[in-house]
Amino acid sequence: MNRTTGIFQRLGIGLLVFFAASTWGGRSANAQGTPTKEYQVKAAFLLNFVQYIEWPAASFAKADTPITVGVLGADPFGPILEKTFQDEAVQGRKLVVKRSRQIEDLKSCHVIFVSKSESEHVGNILTSLNDSSIVTISELDGFAGSGGIINFYFDDKKLRFEINPTAAQPKGLKISSQLLKRAKIVATDKGAK
């Protein structure tokens, strides 16, 4: 409980700082300006996403099979992800992190965060994951339009996210309206595969 509270406090402080920054529009203390704070907020959002997304039953071997979050490419989070997921559980499932530079290593994950370092390979990555029920998340402009499911972006220095529900539907992923309500809805570009 103490550890949990500690995380909440840390998380809370981080969020508060972020909100303060975004509300008053402070130049030096915004999320974009301090990478650590930015990724703390992004890790918290990742956790919230997992809570409002429902995977098909076949994605989990057992009732308590953990939700695996994969990080593909250069990891911008460092230990922040583990700290954020520590002591958390969604529908009785724990959260574990798996890192790799090879997409093949992460095919068993439920969520894959595609790092900026993979911007060149987004098309290939998404294609290789076409038949899986993996939630792809990134922070690259046009990621959602290319067939990715969730993408972070900044609007007036506020962290926002876009969701491509059309891409999620064939994968059997159900995204809660609560989550959709908070996102900018995008569709797959005609040009994308």
Partner 1 sequence: MLWFRNMPVRRKLTVVILMTCAIVLLLAGVAMIGTELVTSRRTMVEDMTVLADVLGRYSTAALSFHRDEDVDEVKRILAAVEADPHILGACIYDKENARFGEHVRVGAAVTFAAQPPGDGHRFTDDYLEVTRPIELNQKRIGTIYVRADLERIYSQLGVHAGIVGLLLLVAIALTLVLSARLQRPLTEPILALAAVASRVAESKDYSARAAKGGKDEIGLLTDAFNQMLSEIELAQGSLQKANQSMQEQTREVVDSINILVSASEEIFATSSQLAAAAAETATAVTQTTTTVEEVRQTVLVSSHRAKNVAESAQRVVETSLSGKKSAEDTIEGMQRIRQQVESIADSMVRLSEQSQTIGQIIATVDDLAAQSNLLAVNASIEAAKAGEHGKGFTVVAMEVRSLAEQSRQATNQVRRILNDIQKATGTAVMATEQGSKTVEIGVKQSGEAGQSIQALANTVVEAAEAATQIAASSQQQLVGVDQVASAMKSIKQASAQNVTSAKQLETAAHRLKELGQKLKQTVERYKL
Query: What is the C-alpha to C-alpha distance for residues 4 and 88, in angstroms, rounded to an integer?
Result: 8
Choice between 129 and 150, CB closer to partner 1: 150
Q: How far is the CB of 58 from partner 1 (least distance, A)?
A: 21
Q: Name the token pair of 184.
A: 């900018």
CA-closest candidate to residue 158, choices 47, 20, 64, 14: 20
| Shortest Å distance, C-beta 12 to partner 1 | 6
Closest contact distance (angstroms) between CB of 155 and partner 1 is 12
In the complex, least distance from residue 44 CB atom to partner 1, rounded to whole angstroms: 9
CB-based contact 31:37 (threshold 8 Å): yes
| Shortest Å distance, C-beta 153 to partner 1 | 15
Which C-beta is closer to partner 1: that of 18 or that of 77?
Answer: 18
Which spans of this chain sit near partner 1 (rule: CB under 8 A)? 8-9, 12, 15, 19, 22-23, 45, 48, 51-52, 89-92, 176, 178-179, 181-182
The residue (of 46 and 72) whose beta carbon lies closer to partner 1 is 46
Closer CB to partner 1, residue 85 or residue 126? 85
Please say which residue, 52 or 153, places its beta carbon nearer to partner 1. Answer: 52
